[in-house]
Amino acid sequence: MTKIDVLVSEVGPRDGLQSIETIMSTDAKKRWIKAEAAAGVREIEVGSFVPAKLLPQMADTGEIVKYAKTIPGLTVTALVPNFIGAKNAIKAGVDKMCLPLSVSETHSRSNLRKSHSEVLGEIENIVQYINSL
């Protein structure tokens, strides 16, 4: 039998919370992430670098990233919808960034307010920025 590696990447602190109206406190998010890491989860998508007016639940993502980075062995990821989000994620110290690329143009425009080509342009700008650091 061939051995394969499996990576479990928890997305609850971002995907699970982004559509919930009641704002979870920053301390509660930190406890959640700490408990996940203590249970053996090695990668957690801790939030999204989006404008707070669009997703108030994610307003503390920078602080959450900085906290999560203090947990030994944890890979800290965040969703970034654009170049500005990526710059903020890098400043906060993420290990990985996820930028959504929708299957359809319609979903891309409703989710990110950008066409596929515009999203690809954002990715190109992000890569150039990272390479300039």
Instruction: Mark 91-101 as b/e (b = at least 16 C-beta within 10 Å).
Output: ebebeebbbee
Percent of the chain residues past pLDDT 90, beyond the cut: 75
Q: Quote the pLDDT of residue 2.
A: 86
Q: Model-level pTM?
A: 0.89
**Above 90 in pLDDT, residue 10?**
yes
Q: State residue 60 phi and psi, 5-degree precision.
A: -100, 15
27 token code pair: 């301390």
Helix (H) or strand (E) holding 97: strand 96-98
- The radius of gyration computed from the CA coordinates of the chain, to the nearest angstrom, equals 15
CATH 3.40.50 holds for 9-99: yes
- Residue with more model confidence, 3 or 88: 88
| pLDDT tens string 75-133 | 999 999 999 999 999 999 999 999 988 888 888 888 888 888 998 999 999 999 999 99
Angle between helices 61-68 and 26-38 (to 10 degrees): 30
How deeply is 122 buried, as exposed, middle or buried, from its count of CB atoms within 10 A (0-12, 13-18, 19+)? buried
**Above 80 in pLDDT, residue 30?**
yes
